[in-house]
Amino acid sequence: MSQEALKVYETLKIQIAADRVGIVTMNRPAARNAMNTRMMEELRDFFADLYVNPDAAVCLVLTGEGKGFCAGADLKERKGMSDAVWRRQHAVVEQMARAVMDCPVPVIAAVNGAAFGGGMELALACDFIYAARSARFALTEVTLGIIPGAAGTQNLPRAVGQRRAKEIILTGAPITAEEAAAFGMVNKVCADDKLLAEARATALKIAANAPISVRQAKKAVDKATELDRMSGYAFEIEAYNRCVVTEDRQEGILAYNEKRKPNYKGR
């Protein structure tokens, strides 16, 4: 693991086990894990480092400390903030959103409570979402005189469709975990006390697979909503060919024929 990812953060707890599944916990429970500037910077830096050092972990679970996932931006910090300072802070938010979406390592959001505003956008920036039954989601920005600015207007329509996304964004009203699952935004609703265990169990299934294959498959699936079908297929073939030359490809076939679990090395 790089020194960046190993360092002690003020607002995050990072735990990467021997199985290389990481738990990233937003750690401002007294503020319902609302993102102050420091947390925005630390989330940006952690995920940007994984872009440079993708072998640091094979799968991540992002969650919140205490009873909330993330209440969005810290509005107490923003009180009285000048336009210039607001824009500078939002530039960090933009970098953070891009870093999460560009992360080559799969990221599962384990939403353990309220995910409002930027908190919901952060969950949407992950690869998929598991939610506690008590979780609530809302993009409240229009009620505050702004609009979603961490890719919410882009990621939500991709998850639930344009018409449903407009209803959620334009009303600013919260939805339940069950509604989010019915809309296609949440993959699984879990009992509150089982959420992290179930998210980690899925992360372990991902971690058991060939790391390069997982990263290439993630890239290819992302392109499905960004390119026309044949251009996306051309990208898929390039991603596929990147796997053909790996030792892991040979190990996967050998393990299958020898009727044993493969020992993938990520090379």
Place of tokens 């008590």: 134
Q: Strands, E, within the chain: which ranges?
A: 12-16, 21-26, 59-64, 107-111, 114-116, 128-132, 136-138, 175-176, 188-190
Return the biggest CA–CA distance within the chain.
66
Report the alpha-carbon distance of residue 217 to residue 123 in Å, rounded: 20
Asked whether the beta carbons of 92 and 147 are under 8 A apart, the reply is: no
Asked whether the beta carbons of 126 and 109 are under 8 A apart, the reply is: yes
Q: Bridge partners of 73?
A: 35
List active site positions.
121, 141
Q: Find all residues with CB under 8 Å of 264, minimum gap 6, and list them.
A: 209, 210, 211, 248, 251, 252
